[in-house]
Copies of this chain bind each other. A is one copy, B any other.
Amino acid sequence: MKLKRSSRLVDMTHYLLTHPHELVSLTFFSERYGSAKSSISEDLVIIKESFETQGIGMLMTVPGASGGVKFLPFIKRETAEQFLSTLITKLSSKDRLLPGGYLYMTDILGDPLTVNEIGRLIASAFFHQSIDVIMTMETKGIPLAYATASQLNVPVIIVRRSSKVTEGSTVSINYVSGSSKRIQSMVLPRRGLQSGAKVLVIDDFMKAGGTMKGMENLINEFDAELVGCAVLVETKEVSPKLVNDYLSLLKLNEIDDSGEIAVGIGNYFNYFKEAHHE
């Protein structure tokens, strides 16, 4: 079917947004719309400019016969700052404080648009890196892992605390929880991770980093490679952290005697800057 420019722009925008980090050839679009490649190229110039101006992401052009375009989701710094400051306001409410220095975040992690935006922030910090798979530990990190994976277009693998019949044979390791010092297990399906795969680990909350450290050991067990860690909230409570290199969106600084919660921005913008200067 032959489409007009205006209709092509709408459909191409939808297509690129739902296929991030995927190389799409001009031929594909040209056949999809029955339009000349020169028209498609002009469309892409318009889309590229809009995506960049509006802070939707970048459109990378790969020249040559096997070339095409690739949409890389990328958030603007001010949008990220605004989003994190809204999140901080929400999290600073006193009634979120739970025993053990935890924060009640179930409602925030339950909102899909918020979770998708967190994914967009994390993906923006790692968009220039080669990542094959995202790993997370059940349960609360799962939505964040999928939201990030949707933007980077890579699969997710979920580490469990015990093996399940629905996952076939598994590999299990023991690790010491950094804050409770208890020995716990982590299980991953044997078919879950390829050797040599580049892994980004995502979780919701990090205290001492024992869970992260455990996942690092599990990644080594599969001869895969850890390329980054990202958490929504890190705490200041336990140090030194068991993991050195990680990204945090937020940092839980202090809970004073009156129960006042002090949440601030984590080290996110160091990573963001790095990504930007690549």
A residues at B contact (CB < 8 Å): 1, 3, 5-7, 9-11, 13-14, 17-19, 46-47, 49-51, 53-54, 56, 98-100, 102-107, 110-113, 115-116, 138-140, 142-143, 146-147, 149-150, 153-158, 160, 165-168, 189, 191-192, 205
Rounded to whole Å, the gap between the CB of A229 and the closest CB of chain B is: 19
In the complex the two chains form, is B143's CB within 8 Å of A112's CB?
Answer: no
Rounded to whole Å, the gap between the CB of A160 and the closest CB of chain B is: 7
Question: What is the chain B residue whose CB lies nearest that of A14?
Answer: B56
Rounded to whole Å, the gap between the CB of A44 and the closest CB of chain B is: 11
17 CB-based A-B contacts, threshold 8 Å: A10-B46, A10-B47, A98-B165, A99-B165, A100-B165, A104-B168, A105-B166, A106-B157, A106-B158, A106-B189, A106-B191, A110-B157, A112-B146, A113-B153, A138-B139, A139-B158, A140-B166
Rounded to whole Å, the gap between the CB of A139 and the closest CB of chain B is: 5
Residues of B contacting A102 in the complex (Cβ-Cβ under 8 angstroms): 165-166
What is the CA–CA distance of A167 and B6 in the complex, to the nearest angstrom?
48
CB-based closest 4 A-B pairs: A10-B50, A112-B150, A112-B149, A13-B13
Q: How many of these chains are in the complex? A: 2
What is the CA–CA distance of A1 and B50 in the complex, to the nearest angstrom?
12
What is the CA–CA distance of A139 and B153 in the complex, to the nearest angstrom?
21
Task: State whether A54 and B19 are in contact (beta carbons under 8 Å apart), knowing that A106-B192, A146-B146, A191-B107 are contacts in the complex.
Answer: no
Residues of B contacting A205 in the complex (Cβ-Cβ under 8 angstroms): 166
Residues of B contacting A11 in the complex (Cβ-Cβ under 8 angstroms): 50, 54, 56
Residues of B contacting A139 in the complex (Cβ-Cβ under 8 angstroms): 138-139, 142, 158, 160
Residues of B contacting A49 in the complex (Cβ-Cβ under 8 angstroms): 7
Q: Which one, B103, B154, B156, B168, contacts A143 given CB within 8 A?
A: B156
In the complex the two chains form, is B98's CB within 8 Å of A166's CB?
Answer: yes
Q: Which one, B46, B51, B104, B155, contacts A167 given CB within 8 A?
A: B104
What is the CA–CA distance of A49 and B10 in the complex, to the nearest angstrom?
10
Most chain B CB within a 10 A radius of its CB, from A6, A105, A165: A6
Residues of B contacting A53 in the complex (Cβ-Cβ under 8 angstroms): 1, 7
In the complex the two chains form, is B5's CB within 8 Å of A6's CB?
Answer: yes
Question: What is the chain B residue whose CB lies nearest that of A100?
Answer: B165
Question: What is the chain B residue whose CB lies nearest that of A8?
Answer: B50
Q: Which one, B3, B6, B54, B112, contacts A6 given CB within 8 A?
A: B6
Residues of B contacting A156 in the complex (Cβ-Cβ under 8 angstroms): 110, 112, 143
